[in-house]
Amino acid sequence: MSSETHIHVSDIPPEGLFLNFSELAKVIPEIDEYCSVSHADGRLEIHKSASEIKISGWVRGRLELTCDRCLNSFASDVETSFFYLLKPSREFHRELKPDHELSRDEIDVYWYEDGEIRAEDLFREQIVLQLPMRLLCSPGCKGICPGCGEDLNLSKCRCKEAKNHGPFAVLAGIKTV
């Protein structure tokens, strides 16, 4: 277990650096307001050659998500492996010419700044990449009725009922007397 998530490039030995992280929820408790990390662990294997850094790793854990339709929270497991190629940001800026367009390969390259790699940024990004476009507690979630606000997964819409027992129901009753 490593509690230090900021890795200094100068600390990477020739044989590589192998790090296990068992309490990632402490460093990335929240992805955004709809997604928090209940617990997660991960591993990084870091190799340095000249100025390039190759990182392979994995992250797995449990997320607490908010359903887009019914706003209830639900748990979801996440597990993924990944690979990064990093170059120092200074080198990149020097190479970049004014009319230079990024090639596909270059877009996949990441840059580290100040001689430091922030492991939590890599893990956070990998978790974000695993999130679906729509967060749903189940594929068939019925959501919340916009009229009565009832969670339609748990109970029936009360819109009709509200009409029968609303202020106009009293008037209707008077009429019939």
x/- letters, 109..148, toward Zn ion (CB under 5 A) = ----------------------------x---x---x-xx
Contacts (Cβ under 8 Å, ≥6 apart) of 161: 148
Q: Which is nearer to Zn ion, 29 or 147 (CB)?
A: 147
Residue whose entry in the numeric block shows the structure tokens 């979630």: 141
Q: Which is nearer to Zn ion, 115 or 147 (CB)?
A: 147
**Rounded to the nearest whole angstrom, what is the least distance from the CB of residue 132 to Zn ion in the complex?**
13
Q: Which is nearer to Zn ion, 81 or 155 (CB)?
A: 155
- Single out the residue of 21, 69, 86, 135 in contact with Zn ion (rule: CB under 5 A): 69
Residue 113, CB-side half-sphere exposure with 13 Å CA sphere: 2
Residues numbered 144-173 forming contacts with Zn ion, rule: CB under 5 A: 145, 147-148, 157, 159
Q: Which is nearer to Zn ion, 45 or 64 (CB)?
A: 64
**Rounded to the nearest whole angstrom, what is the least distance from the CB of residue 32 to Zn ion in the complex?**
18
Task: Compute the C-alpha angle 8/12/18, nearest 5°.
Answer: 105
Provide the sign of the torsion angle of the four alpha carbons 111, 6, 62, 1, taken in this order.
positive
Alpha-carbon distance of 146 to 159, in angstroms, equals: 9
Q: Which is nearer to Zn ion, 96 or 162 (CB)?
A: 162
If residue 104 lies in a helix (H) or strand (E), which one and from where to where?
A: helix 104-107
> For the chain, how big is the Rg over CA atoms in Å?
26
What is the contact surface with Zn ion in residues (CB under 5 A)?
A: 67, 69-70, 137, 141, 145, 147-148, 157, 159
